[in-house]
Amino acid sequence: MPVVLGSMSKEERTRRYRHIRDFERMLAENGATIVKCMLHISKDEQRERLQARIDDPTKHWKFDVSDLDARKLWDKYQDAYDEALAATSTEYAPWYVIPANSKTHRNVMVGELLLRTFESLKLEFPPPKESLKGVIVE
C-alpha cells in the first residue's frame, strides 16, 4: 500500500480521496445505492489465518512471504485504513466497518445490511404492458 510504504504524498492521497467522493456522489445523484463494507479482523486473527495457510499445504497458494513483512507494519496499515475510511465515508456512500474475525458473524452482518438496504429501495416490478394483453406466442 503506497500510503504505508511512503510512496504516495499527502497531496496525492487528498486528490484521490476527492476523486472517490466525487465519483460516488455522481453515482448516487444518478440513482445508485452504494454499500461499502470494510471487513476488519484483529491482529491475532490475522496471525492465526496466516499460520493456517503455512501449516496447510492446500492453502499455500493464499500465502506470500511479503505478508509477514506487511504484518510488521500493522499499526501503519490501521492508520492508513482509518484515514481512507474517514476521508471517503459520506452521507451518500458511508463505510460500514464489519468485525470479521468470525466468518459466520461477518456474513450475517453483511447479509443484514444488504437486506435492509434492498428493503429500503422499495423495489417493484414495472406495471404490465397493456399491449401484451391477449398476445399468443405460436
122 conformational bin, left if phi > 0, alpha if psi -120 to 50, beta if neither: left
Q: Which of 97, 40, 108, 115 is nearest to 74 (CA)?
A: 40
The DSSP call for residue 48 is H
pLDDT score at 5: 86
* Rounded Cα gap, residues 106 and 132, in angstroms: 45
Cell match 435492509: residue?
Answer: 116
- Residue written as grid cell 453515482: 27
Q: Inform me whether the pLDDT recorded for 3 exceeds 90.
A: no
Domain limits, the chain: 2-36+45-94
> Above 90 in pLDDT, residue 100?
yes
